[in-house]
Amino acid sequence: MRLTGLSAFPITPADPEGRVDLPALRRLVARLREAGVDSIGLLGSTGSYPYLTRDERRRALEAALDEVGDWAPVLVGVGALRTDEAVRLAQDARAAGAAAGLLAAVSYTPLTDDEVFAHVATVARESGLPLCLYDNPSTTHFRFGPELIGRLSRLPGIVAVKSPGQEPQAVAGHLAGLRTVVPPGFSLGYSGDWTTTEALIAGADAWYSVVAGLFPQVAVDIVRAVQRGDAAEARRLDARLAPLWTLFREHSSLRVMYACANLLDLCRAAPPRPILPLGEEAQGRVAEVIRALDLR
Amino acid sequence: MRLTGLSAFPITPADPEGRVDLPALRRLVARLREAGVDSIGLLGSTGSYPYLTRDERRRALEAALDEVGDWAPVLVGVGALRTDEAVRLAQDARAAGAAAGLLAAVSYTPLTDDEVFAHVATVARESGLPLCLYDNPSTTHFRFGPELIGRLSRLPGIVAVKSPGQEPQAVAGHLAGLRTVVPPGFSLGYSGDWTTTEALIAGADAWYSVVAGLFPQVAVDIVRAVQRGDAAEARRLDARLAPLWTLFREHSSLRVMYACANLLDLCRAAPPRPILPLGEEAQGRVAEVIRALDLR
């Protein structure tokens, strides 16, 4: 399996006690199927994986896989603070039929490169699940450097890296730097929705997208424009979404996506506490942007 | 209860599956009692609280309280990623008889001040456990600013703050800044062992100490010197420990304390994975420092 194109990361609607609302999750996943995204990133950071128990993560995965069927691979967050817990989550994911796991370097005590190497190697070896390295320093406070990515990319079962968004003028260099340290065919992808159009134009393999988890069509249109070589059209579609990117940067994409999903009546769910829903004024701005951009 | 003087933070020895070694924990706690520390900080960051289940945290607390008896208050880490989980941990701690809870702003999705305020207020209200705010940006990546500390210090049950270590030239100003925002009697304390002697001399109420969790006597001597007004002697005792502080800064106090506890045959335990024990060369340096400083 090679991760390419658009990977859509939905929220995981749950009640205040952390029980996943499976019908609402199925509704979100069905939208992704209908829009034809290339893969689904279940239980990513936007899917609030670290806030859910192992049982709830398994319930969510099984429902999503059932809804998806065969039409697209599902990758699933298997990160955890403890190595043994991440192993169990990856084993669960493989048993359920996920195509790959997304493994972040979740930390409390700051970790060294050698510790993260051993953590990832153990999860890959003990689970047999193909893994995408999840480099998300804004949540884990660990940064995968090129040297570590190079070492890990040579382990059996490590197939991809999801890197954080880069500045437009830096992304081509970042991508070229990673290409020199990973084997051919290793997938290099990016998150940070407001930066990823330039990453795709620069030759990135995949866009790990928060907006696509709820509004897949606008993201599919950008990816397809890049794929047919129409960078100008991709940039035009991306520029049109600028008001949404402003909200993402200001309030985090997770909080904005919860507000959108509720405003669209796709679910009645708040983020897991201590994360709070957006206040009324911010929700008003979100509603305006949804209307102005005709998001649906 | 007012937190003053020396609060000693032991490691929590556990097996690779995360089951706490209660006899070893009791041995560590008994050393603290014999040295006459002013309070015990169980399941702090050095006690690897976020890596242990609720059941194991309760087992550790009950054993420690039984070992401590009436001679000193026990404060205990009740932090968790989810608010409801932190509430349950604080309720457990109160039911078991802990004097106070230590509540860090554990985060994955970065939190706002309003979110942390609501989190702390909920835990205090739902548990009835007195709380010490645990400002530990190096692990939680959330920083409690003076404005937030001021707001929280006015809530019933919020009794103290444990601030991160400050540069020697900055600590008096930091302390004075906090005094202006908290009510009289609110306890202001510091962690970061290599910085705390100056904090105590500047008038801090408490030292939350990692070294005291294993080598209580050297820390008791520093605190008592400050308390009797002998700053010169406190500084001399602190300067003598410089080789240990170097190791703490280089490898983290947690990893060094595990190495020390094993070298002293107080337990056979490694930190929870993915955290790795120190390598051979670093362990050799730790052994040398233990010998040179006659730590026991």
pLDDT digits (tens, 9 = 90+) for A71-112: 999 999 999 999 999 999 999 999 999 999 999 999 999 999
Q: Beta-carbon neighbour count of residue A155 at 10 Å?
A: 13
Helices (H) and strands (E) in chain B, counts: 13, 8
Residue A180 marked as a ligand binder: no
Nearest to B116 among A48, A271, A274 (CB): A274
- Residue A4's alpha-carbon distances to A45, A190, A207, B277, in angstroms, are 19, 11, 8, 38
Q: Beta-carbon neighbour count of residue B169 at 10 Å?
A: 8
Please tell me which residue of chain A has the smallest CA distance to B107: A139
Contact criterion met (CB below 8 Å) for B93 and A124:
no
Predicted pLDDT of residue B2 = 78
From B65, B41, B33, select the one nearest B207 (Cα to Cα).
Answer: B41
Residues 154-183 of B with CB under 8 A from A: none
**A108 contact B CB<8A:** yes
Decide the pairing of beta strands A74-77 and B39-42. unpaired
Q: Is a pLDDT exceeding 70 seen at residue B36?
A: yes
- Residue A250's alpha-carbon distances to A71, A246, A247, A262, in angstroms, are 35, 6, 5, 19
> Predicted confidence band at A161 (pLDDT cuts at 50, 70, 90)?
very high
Q: Is a pLDDT exceeding 90 seen at residue A1?
A: no
**How far A13 CA sits from the closest chain B CA (Å)?**
15
What average pLDDT does the structure give for chain B?
97
Q: Where do we find the tokens 């065919």?
A: A185
**How far A85 CA sits from the closest chain B CA (Å)?**
10
Q: Is a pLDDT exceeding 80 seen at residue B7?
A: yes
Predicted pLDDT of residue A203 = 97
| Residue A57 CA to its chain's centroid (Å) | 15
Nearest to A276 among B115, B139, B252 (CB): B115
pLDDT in tens, A111-147: 999 999 999 999 999 999 999 999 999 999 999 999 9
Options 3.20.20.70, 3.40.640.10, 1.10.15.40, 3.30.1490.190; CATH of A5-228: 3.20.20.70
Geometric angle at alpha carbon B279, from B277 and B284, rounded to 5°: 110
| List of chain B residues whose C-beta atoms are within 8 Å of the C-beta of residue A122 | 273
pLDDT in tens, B218-260: 999 999 999 999 999 999 999 999 999 999 999 999 999 999 9
Decide the pairing of beta strands A74-77 and B74-77. unpaired
pLDDT in tens, B168-182: 999 999 999 999 999
Contact criterion met (CB below 8 Å) for B11 and B21:
no
**Beta strand spans in A138-202 (E):** 158-163, 187-190
> Predicted confidence band at B34 (pLDDT cuts at 50, 70, 90)?
very high
Predicted pLDDT of residue B1 = 67
**Percentage of chain B lying above the pLDDT 90 cut:** 98
> Predicted confidence band at A200 (pLDDT cuts at 50, 70, 90)?
very high
Predicted pLDDT of residue A2 = 78
Active site residues of A: 134, 162
CB contact under 8 A, A109 and B271: yes
Q: Give the CATH H-level superfamily of domain B5-226.
A: Aldolase class I (3.20.20.70)
Q: Is B156 exposed, middle or buried (0-12, 13-18, 19+ CB in 10 A)?
A: exposed
ipTM here: 0.96
Q: Is a pLDDT exceeding 90 seen at residue A35?
A: yes
Query: What are the extents of the domains in chain B?
Result: 5-226
Residues 2-61 of B with CB under 8 A from A: 16-18, 45, 48, 50-51
Q: Is a pLDDT exceeding 90 seen at residue B277?
A: yes
